[in-house]
């Protein structure tokens, strides 16, 4: 199967981006090489983008969150995209929030000559992500795949109960599938397995971020908890991170008398503060402020900003 010269994938949901990458690349035998646009793109990216792999499968060079790259990057990329390399497939994922139901790629991207080429050749894929209008399509696709039918009113109730996050939605549908066993009809009693919105234990969440072994539990919370999947917990968590940073800063500076905690907990925090040091503690404020700015500017949806905040916080430990 022939490949596209280069591709733009525009979607705010990371799971749908991954689905589209698999759909494009797996049948064509390309090896996936992923880089992140919200980090500095180093020489390794440019090397893989320009030098064919002579000893293995062709490379799909994927830049996730590509919308975060500067105008200088897109000026540099323009000359590279004008040259077709059969064994290199550049893919750019634009994962910013949509406005009024429409994608809004940065002008630094759409002003390039490559953008017009991609439009003419159909190398731009767009998906708005899950909405309340498209949840039904996902449910119907799930039912068709597993040859399921719904008892009266069950489909409607199910759609109203599902989260607007693809990975969380699929986890919920998998629960129903397990509960069904050999049955092919989804009844109302099968919906009892769906997660209900509960008060989220923010402090347990923060403590998990601070341990090397808590990463899996943290990400399960972000992806599977309905409140977390919606992004509603971003600002409470951000505020608590700021509070936590203040406590750690005081302890790191030896100002223990200004921190009112139980002795055992203060000792644990003191140990953590000394481990992190002032530079990394100050980064917590930067992460929280960045999350706030990303959402208020419309650059990221709350759930995306939350995912980024968790990822950044975990890098401290």
Predicted confidence band of residue 202 (pLDDT cuts 50, 70, 90): very low
CATH superfamily for domain 7-126: P-loop containing nucleotide triphosphate hydrolases (3.40.50.300)
Higher pLDDT, 107 or 226: 107
pLDDT of residue 232: 61
Mean pLDDT for 159-180 is 84
Is the pLDDT score of 222 beyond 60?
no
50, two tokens: 């320009």
38-86 pLDDT, tens per residue? 888 889 999 999 988 777 788 999 999 999 999 999 999 998 998 888 8
Mean pLDDT for 167-172 is 85
Q: How far is the C-alpha of 73 from the C-alpha of 187, rounded, in Å?
A: 53
Higher pLDDT, 246 or 235: 246
∠ CA 290-292-295, nearest 5°, is 105
One DSSP character per residue, the chain reads -PPPSSEEEE-S-HHHHHHHHHHHHGGGTPEEEEEETTS---HHHHHHHHS--SSSS-EEEEEETGGGS-HHHHHHHHHHHTS--TTEEEEEEE-PPPBTTB----HHHHTSHHHHHHHHHT-EEE-----TTTHHHHHHHHHHHTT-EE-TTHHHHHHHHS-S-HHHHHHHHHHHHHHHTT--EE-GGGGGGSPPP----HHHHHHHHTSTT-HHHHHHHHHHSHHHHHTTTHHHHHHHHHHHHHHHHHHHTT-GGG----HHHHHHHHHHHHHHHHHHHHHHHHHHHHHHHHHHTTSS-HHHHHHHHHHHHHTT-
Domain range list for the chain: 7-126, 135-193, 202-314
pLDDT of residue 314: 72
How does 268-279 read in b/e, with b if 16+ C-beta sit within 10 Å? ebbebbeebeee
pLDDT of residue 198: 40
Mean pLDDT for 198-218 is 54
Is the pLDDT score of 262 beyond 70?
no
pLDDT of residue 227: 52
Please choose, from the candidates 227, 205, 226, the residue with its C-alpha nearest in 3D space to the C-alpha of residue 217.
Answer: 205
**Share above pLDDT 70 across residues of the chain, in percent, rounded to a whole number:** 85
Please choose, from the candidates 281, 286, 282, the residue with its C-alpha nearest in 3D space to the C-alpha of residue 269.
Answer: 281
Name the burial class of residue 232, with classes exposed (0-12), middle (13-18) and buried (19+) by CB atoms within 10 angstroms of its CB: middle
Give the CATH class of 135-193: mainly alpha
């Amino acid at each position: 199967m022939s490949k596209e010269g280069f591709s733009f994938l525009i979607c705010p949901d990371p799971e749908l981006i991954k689905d589209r990458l698999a759909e494009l690349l797996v049948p064509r035998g390309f090896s996936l090489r992923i880089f992140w646009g919200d980090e500095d793109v180093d020489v390794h990216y440019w090397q893989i983008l320009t030098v064919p792999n002579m000893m293995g499968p062709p490379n799909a060079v994927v830049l996730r969150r590509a919308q975060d790259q500067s105008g200088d990057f897109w000026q540099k990329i323009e000359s590279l995209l004008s040259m077709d390399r059969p064994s290199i497939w550049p893919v750019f994922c634009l994962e910013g929030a949509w406005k009024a139901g429409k994608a809004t790629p940065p002008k630094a991207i759409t002003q390039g000559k490559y953008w017009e080429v991609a439009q003419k050749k159909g190398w731009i894929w767009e998906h708005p992500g899950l909405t309340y209008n498209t949840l039904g399509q996902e449910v119907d696709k799930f039912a068709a795949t597993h040859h399921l039918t719904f008892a009266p009113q069950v489909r409607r109730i199910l759609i109203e109960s599902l989260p607007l996050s693809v990975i969380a939605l699929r986890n919920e549908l998998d629960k129903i599938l397990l509960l069904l066993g050999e049955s092919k009809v989804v009844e109302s009693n099968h919906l009892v397995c769906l997660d209900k919105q509960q008060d989220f234990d923010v402090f347990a969440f923060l403590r998990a971020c601070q341990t090397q072994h808590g990463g899996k539990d943290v990400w399960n919370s972000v992806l599977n908890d309905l409140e977390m999947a919606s992004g509603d917990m971003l600002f409470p968590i951000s505020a608590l991170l700021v509070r936590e940073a203040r406590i750690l800063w005081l302890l790191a500076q030896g100002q223990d008398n200004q921190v009112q905690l139980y002795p055992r907990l203060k000792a644990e925090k003191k140990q953590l503060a000394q481990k992190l040091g002032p530079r990394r503690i100050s980064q917590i404020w930067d992460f929280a402020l960045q999350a706030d700015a990303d959402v208020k500017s419309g650059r990221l949806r709350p759930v995306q900003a939350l995912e980024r905040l968790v990822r950044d916080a975990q890098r401290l430990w």
